[in-house]
Chain A
Amino acid sequence: MLSFLIISIGVFLVFLCQTCILPGVMPLSVLPNLFIILTASNGFMREENSGLAVGFCCGLLYDIFFGEVIGFHALLYMYIGFLNGKFSRVFYPEDIKLPLALITVSDLTYSLICYVFQFLLWGRLDFSYYFLHVILPEMVVTLTATLVFYPLILLINEWLRKRERKKEQRFV
């Protein structure tokens, strides 16, 4: 219950941070994708169910405020969370290489799918331009943001894990 509450607050804060605080603080034309960081890290830290639920909530929030149709981003983030959950078996908290790689690949996939469905299908064929000016910068900025936010997420997750383990011992 506690972890559910904390993760929901996390999603909420990330949404506020992404839409409200970041555009004001960072004078960049390309913003990092914090939803991807949260969704992916929930996936490989807390397995498929948590990953896909967090992804679904992030995507739905985004869809309601900024989406053309409700459900597109929810679906996309959900699958990203789910697929990241598959890697929870090879995830070790000490190793930062796997999370970085997973988050980068997730962001790349997300951007590519967004491009295909929102631009390519509308006749914007100049892939190299969009790759160099939107997808690649977003990937780099997200990777940088991961280095800042990931330790924080890891810390919270470790704390939750510890509590859960204690609870289990109490039951047994």
Chain B
Amino acid sequence: MSPIVRRKGEKFTIPSKVLLLILTIFCSAMMLLTFVTDLFEKPFNSIIGYVVIPFEKGIGSAGAWIHSRSEELGQIHKLIAENQALKEQVAKLTEENTLLQQDKYELNKLRQLYELDEQYEEYHKVGARILSRDSGNWYSAFLIDKGADDGLEKNMNVIAGGGLVGRISSVGPNWARVTAIISDNANVSAMTLATEDNLMVSGSLKAMNEGTILFSQLVDSKGVVKPGDKVVTSDISDKFLPGILVGYILSIEQDNNNLTKSGTLIPAVDFEHLSEVLVITDRKQTIEENP
């Protein structure tokens, strides 16, 4: 039943078993090669990037337009009521703001005294729009519309709304893949802000469905870390810049070994409703080189 016999008019066709064998060898070789090196990533990423990404950008902007129009229609009534409430809030906040302004002057003065860096503001950031999401149901990754042409590189950190989203795990000329910290294959070395205890934050598919991330290996012998504490990326991480907010501790449990603790975090970023992210173009290495 080989396809060669079936049709007379057709040209020469390769028997499917041979084709299968060739492609199997090709795939296995590629798997091995890409696992060991990222030599082939670049040509593949560029070729496909130039073909697919323009379409994705088009669909993305069309989708955003339709979405915003439908949102507008649905929300007019809500907006009127909200406007009223907000006006009252503005008055309250202006008052509060003046008070805070005074505090800020004081804070700035104190900072100068202590020569503290304003860490977050020091980082150079690039805004990017999310194009598409991982189509599989296992991992949590997405593509953004900036790539190597905009100066992005692998392992750059991605933030949104003040919290850590993930890091760039693959770069094409005009796109980049961001692996989220809630993804099952992601780990972040972090620390608690208050006590500077190191811990390991690891994404998990199970926890993701509940809107949390897991953490483990927290050495907290004094037992001072409590739910609600802020967790930020640690100084010892080799891929993440220090001091970026990861989330807040939700629950802590003692491990069976009685030395470390583990538990769950609530991420600072709302991963369900992300559409724009900021990529920090500073990298850990360059910071180490020029202190």
Q: In the complex, how many angstroms separate the beta carbon of B233 from the nearest chain A beta carbon?
A: 22
Residues on B with beta carbons closer than 8 Å to the beta carbon of A72: 27, 31
Contact A66 B59 (CB under 8 A): no
Tell me, yes or no, whether A144 is within 8 Å of chain B by CB.
no
A126 CA to B207 CA in the complex, in Å? 13
A33 CA to B136 CA in the complex, in Å? 7
Known contacts A69-B34, A168-B9, A171-B8: A52-B19 contact under CB 8 Å: yes
- Within B131-146, the residues touching A (CB, 8 Å) are 131-139, 141, 143
Contact A31 B177 (CB under 8 A): no
Scoring A residues 31 to 61 as 1 if CB is less than 8 Å from chain B, else 0, what string do you get? 1011100000000000111001100100001
Count the A-B residue pairs with Cβ separation under 8 angstroms: how many? 143
Contact A64 B45 (CB under 8 A): yes
Q: Which residue of B lies closest to A110 (CB)?
A: B136
Residue picked from A49, A85, A138, most chain B C-beta under 10 Å: A49
**Chain A interface SS verdict (over half):** helix
Scoring B residues 20 to 37 as 1 if CB is less than 8 Å from chain A, else 0, what string do you get? 100110111111001100
Tell me, yes or no, whether A87 is within 8 Å of chain B by CB.
no
Tell me, yes or no, whether B67 is within 8 Å of chain A by CB.
yes
Contact A82 B20 (CB under 8 A): yes
Q: Which residue of A lies closest to B63 (CB)?
A: A24
Residues on A with beta carbons closer than 8 Å to the beta carbon of B134: 19, 66
Q: In the complex, how many angstroms separate the beta carbon of B76 from the nearest chain A beta carbon?
A: 22
Contact B135 A49 (CB under 8 A): no
Binds A, one of B48-56, B86-94, B237-245: B48-56
Scoring A residues 78 to 114 as 1 if CB is less than 8 Å from chain B, else 0, what string do you get? 1100100100010000000000000000000000001
Tell me, yes or no, whether A162 is within 8 Å of chain B by CB.
no
Residues on A with beta carbons closer than 8 Å to the beta carbon of B170: 65
Tell me, yes or no, whether A163 is within 8 Å of chain B by CB.
no
Tell me, yes or no, whether B40 is within 8 Å of chain A by CB.
yes
A119 CA to B138 CA in the complex, in Å? 9
- Chain A contacts to B: CB under 8 angstroms: 12, 15-16, 18-24, 29-31, 33-35, 47-49, 52-53, 56, 61-62, 64-66, 68-72, 74-75, 78-79, 82, 85, 89, 114-115, 118-119, 122, 124, 126, 129-130, 133-134, 137-138, 167-168, 171-172
- Please, could you name 20 A-B residue pairs with CB atoms under 8 Å apart, sorted by A? A15-B135, A16-B55, A16-B59, A20-B59, A20-B131, A33-B136, A48-B3, A62-B135, A65-B170, A65-B177, A66-B135, A70-B30, A70-B34, A71-B26, A71-B28, A74-B27, A78-B20, A126-B206, A134-B138, A168-B9
Q: Which 6 A-B residue pairings sit nearest by Cβ, starting from the closest?
A: A48-B16, A71-B30, A19-B132, A171-B9, A71-B27, A71-B31
